Structure 1
Amino acid sequence: MRRFVHLLANDLKGGYTLRNIDVGPLFADAHAGTGRRFSRLPRPLACFECPIKAGRMEFFLLGSKIVVTSAVRMGPDLLHSKSVDPAWAAVGGRLFALRFDDRIHDWSWDLLPSPPLLDMPFEGDDSDIQSYGAGDDKNIWVSTAGKGTYTAGGWALPFDGQVQYIPDYDPCLGFCNKTKDLCSAELTAWANDEALEPPVHRKIWDDDVVDDLCSTRWYLARSHLTYLGYGKFCVTRFFNITHDFLHVAVMTAVEATLTYGTGELQMVSRASRRYKFKLGTSIFYALLN
């Protein structure tokens, strides 16, 4: 089991800090909740400063390495930012990032042929990438709200953000495109063109942490799912507190179990921790160490 999650936040003036969060203890207490106290953030291990004034950086995970673009030239120089949630996938030890460039009317920095699902020009909210991920060593899914899913069909995936394909389990895991709860769906048949109907959620697990915090007027900004191995996951939720606009990260330990007799996949929440960042922090990443 991997115990550490990289937490990146733009809490520097023109830059990001990287902190290692030990989530191993969250699995030790099966009944502990989030409580009302904030945990102390560990000291940053590294800082990344953007060389371009008012510029942005993007962070991707490739195996055990973090790839940084538009920072200190640790990765290829992208033509421009890839919006709040960049679409990326690591397949066969290579990193694929997808971004449409309005200036040249084409896709940039991709190692595969350009996805044919989008018409020219790239305009309208129905063309925004809603969900994405690597199915296996041969398939990448890129899904939009109104123009279908590349390598699958003319419908959108039932996920919001990145899709996690875990070989140990049949369904793919991610966050529900409607409720933002953790959910699963079967996508392998659609990747092999074995079905014409759009995939549906196989299971949706209610998130008590989200329900509790949203009831206190916290706004859920984005979510990340990190697989630690051996059936253990870390769900990282980023919230905005409406009354003072501070930004909070809530990290929850989640363990996968199979129901005896039926083999049905269950996701059981363990303990959680809260971390508060200073005013002005708006962009986060949660990557596996």
Structure 2
Amino acid sequence: MNRKFVYLVANTLSRGRSRSRSAYTVHLIDPSTFFQSRSAGDGTATMDDFRLPTAAMTFCKPGPGSESEDDPMTDNMDFMPLGKGSQSGILALDGKGRVSHYDAACQSFSLMPALHAPKMQPISLPVGDSVYVMDVNPRPGNRHCFEALIHGSGPKSCYPTDWYWHSLAAPPHARAHNYVPYDSDFSEEENDQDFNDIRMVHGPEVDVHMMAAAPVIDGHTVVGDSQIWISTIGAGTYSFDTASGVWSQAMDWSLPFRGRAEYVPELNLWFGFSSQDKCLCGFDLTATASAMSPPLLRHQWDGIAQQEGWAPVISYIVPLGSGKLFIAEFFETKEKVYIKGGGWVYGNCDNFAVFTGVEFLEKLGGGLHMVKHRSKRYNHERVMPDWVI
């Protein structure tokens, strides 16, 4: 296991002298506590409670506080890894385009160059030491909807090497119009699951009403050392070559997973959650890249944590090395209160997550065996889930 800790960023409140202010607290989870010796057997029978460790860092929102309603988008923040496996820490992006860097391993905090333009619920993809950040609904008129944070000799840098943002071409799907819009005729229950599907793809603070009617990047991943793949609903899959800076339409079908798929080099597979049934799956994208054929589903594992009545909200996969993964799945349950005379409304709602350590072992003769180690349930008060990086 290469990862010493996993970052969890929680949306919370910090207490000031005069009033409470919305903030984000960073907690370091020791992933080794989710694994046990193989002789201890499978850990599926029990589920312990999980309590967040003491916050290692706090980021305050850029706005005047949670009471501000002038521009709610500038009051949000997003978090993403810097380097593969967050080996260089995490980045915090606020709604005004400002960027800061926190590295728990070095116990350091630093300011980074600001984005050319703020990003709205961005997706991020680490490639080498760089990170590529894109608006979740890129528009052709926005010259800065896709940027890369690069360490090198920038065009305006005063130093031989430094961090700088480089704007890149918008993806071709920004000019496509064959998308599936939000259906206002859906029932409330159908919309709730539709909204959770959008959060699964775009992150915990996505504005689901705005996003449901916008072009959607449904899945994304890194293939090889230089190819970024994004998948769109109704417009196929596109690839971006980070070496040449050129987009191309790789396929006319969509990738079969939601959100970001993570590559596990020990197994030569990409792991993600199925766009069909949200099960954890292992895909072979190597053959896809060479044959331009749909990805091969090599393995599927049903219900890592989900139980009846648990509605999935968003899930994260964190590769730990040595064929081990840290799985974070956020759920909600809603109580139906039936009204006298007919009909019902939603009552109490529980929001929680289940963290699980899983290990993959190669079988004799081929195939993979998944060992589910320990699972822990984390109850959080806020409706919006947290980031797990």
TM-score, L = length of structure 1: 0.86
* Mapped partners of 1:140, 1:273: distance in 2: 33
Aligned pair 1:14/2:25, yes or no? no
The residue number in structure 2 matching 1:253 is 357
The residue number in structure 1 matching 2:120 is 82
1:190 is paired with a residue whose SS is: helix
* Mapped partners of 1:36, 1:166: distance in 2: 26
Structure label with greater radius of gyration: 2
The residue number in structure 2 matching 1:104 is 141
User: In terms of mean alpha carbon deviation, does 16-25 or 26-35 score higher?
Assistant: 26-35
Aligned pair 1:206/2:302, yes or no? yes
Q: 2:31 aligns with which of 16, 19, 23?
A: 23
Aligned pair 1:286/2:323, yes or no? no
The residue number in structure 2 matching 1:158 is 256
| Native 8 Å contact 1:10 1:281 kept in 2 | no
Percent identity between the aligned chains? 30
Structure 2 residue runs without a partner (length 5+): 14-20, 101-111, 149-167, 182-213, 240-249, 336-347
- Shift in Å, 1:69: 0.5
Say if 1:195 and 1:88 are closer, same or farther in 2 by CA, change over 3 A. same
| Native 8 Å contact 2:282 2:298 kept in 1 | yes
- Shift in Å, 1:168: 1.8
Deviations, residues 140-160 of structure 1 (Å, cap 9, x unaligned): 111112111112211100111
* Mapped partners of 1:250, 1:271: distance in 2: 10
Say if 1:107 and 1:197 are closer, same or farther in 2 by CA, change over 3 A. farther
Q: 1:134 aligns with which of 222, 232, 238?
A: 222
- Shift in Å, 1:270: 1.2
The residue number in structure 2 matching 1:43 is 54
TM-score, L = length of structure 2: 0.65
* Mapped partners of 2:125, 2:355: distance in 1: 23
* Mapped partners of 1:104, 1:114: distance in 2: 9
1:189 is paired with a residue whose SS is: helix
* Mapped partners of 2:360, 2:33: distance in 1: 17
- Shift in Å, 1:110: 2.1
5 Å-filtered alignment, 1:155-234, equals: 155-191=253-289, 194-210=290-306, 212=307, 215=308, 217-234=309-326
Aligned pair 1:268/2:371, yes or no? yes
* Mapped partners of 2:51, 2:125: distance in 1: 32
* Mapped partners of 2:178, 2:99: distance in 1: 28
| Native 8 Å contact 2:358 2:370 kept in 1 | yes
Letter of the 1:95 partner, please give it.
V
Letter of the 1:43 partner, please give it.
T
| Native 8 Å contact 1:59 1:285 kept in 2 | yes
Higher helix residue share: 2
- Shift in Å, 1:25: 2.1
The residue number in structure 2 matching 1:67 is 91
Choose between structure 1 and 2 for higher RCO, CA contacts under 8 A separated by at least 6 residues. Answer: 1
- Shift in Å, 1:122: 9.4
User: In terms of mean alpha carbon deviation, does 36-45 or 231-240 score higher?
Assistant: 36-45
Aligned pair 1:113/2:192, yes or no? no
Structure 1 residue runs without a partner (length 5+): none
* Mapped partners of 1:257, 1:153: distance in 2: 32
- Shift in Å, 1:81: 4.5
* Mapped partners of 1:118, 1:197: distance in 2: 24
- Shift in Å, 1:20: 1.2
Deviations, residues 75-102 of structure 1 (Å, cap 9, x unaligned): 534744433xx32111121110111454
Letter of the 1:11 partner, please give it.
T
- Shift in Å, 1:124: 5.3
Say if 1:199 and 1:73 are closer, same or farther in 2 by CA, change over 3 A. closer
* Mapped partners of 2:310, 2:116: distance in 1: 34
1:32 is paired with a residue whose SS is: coil
- Shift in Å, 1:36: 5.9
* Mapped partners of 2:286, 2:257: distance in 1: 15
- Shift in Å, 1:229: 0.9
Say if 1:102 and 1:253 are closer, same or farther in 2 by CA, change over 3 A. same
User: In terms of mean alpha carbon deviation, does 15-24 or 238-247 score higher?
Assistant: 238-247
* Mapped partners of 1:164, 1:106: distance in 2: 28
Total equivalences in the alignment: 277
